[in-house]
Structure 1
């Protein structure tokens, strides 16, 4: 699904011009409703949303099917640096782990109808790659002789 949105309007415009904004949402790619004091909202038709969900489900099934075959899994593994350029800072084994985790997560998200965990997995692996890209930080994180600072209390004090 393209991230381009055909129209952006202030939330107050929706309240003042409901019919016009609803028409734009139903006829275009959707309308981004900008709000001053809260997270923006996206308005689209139910049919467009159902189509997007169906498309995600189909792609998920293809992706999962490819992972079941050695050649398919190898192809996906080779595509990882193209899709996620930062994986070059991960080891080959970590890239495989990321591929397996993202595949399992995408399948679960398809079943739940909730894509939030996909973003969480990608952010976590990207953060790992960022840490590995900084040699000093990587050394600090992978150092084996780290002293235990002791228990941490619920309020965060040592």
Structure 2
């Protein structure tokens, strides 16, 4: 897709303003945070596999990352946060894997050996 630099700059400005307004609302209003947490499954259906406290952590991390990424004009960190939480939901959606992750451990198992060269 081809676009002009001016058009790309307008899209970045619009996204930046939207992000800043959203972050400001989230920082100032507990009701906005609750509402975002409640509607998150409509945007990211996979959050249904996350415990409520994880959803709240996801919202806080997402908002903080959106703010920081906007200051760099780089959306990549936001995508990384979303993908990380999506992978967490995938793991928790698998009962066998979720049980393994929730199982208590007997401490640190030490360093992981380097894989063998092929």
How many residue pairs get aligned? The number is 115
What corresponds to 1:118 in structure 2?
Answer: 78
- Aligned CA RMSD, in angstroms, stands at 1.6
- The structure that has the greater radius of gyration is 1
Distance of 2:22 and 2:91 partners within structure 1: 28
Q: CA deviation at 1:77?
A: 1.0
What corresponds to 1:81 in structure 2?
Answer: 41
What corresponds to 2:55 in structure 1?
Answer: 95
Deviations 1:87-126 (A, max 9, x none): 0110111000000000000111110011111110000000
What corresponds to 1:46 in structure 2?
Answer: 5
What corresponds to 2:18 in structure 1?
Answer: 59
Q: CA deviation at 1:44?
A: 1.5
Q: Which has the higher contact order (CA 8 A, sep 6+)?
A: 2
What corresponds to 1:130 in structure 2?
Answer: 90
Deviations 1:115-138 (A, max 9, x none): 111110000000000000000000
Q: CA deviation at 1:49?
A: 0.5
Higher strand share: 1
Distance of 1:48 and 1:146 partners within structure 2: 56
Query: Where do 5+ consecutive residues of structure 2 fail to align?
Result: none
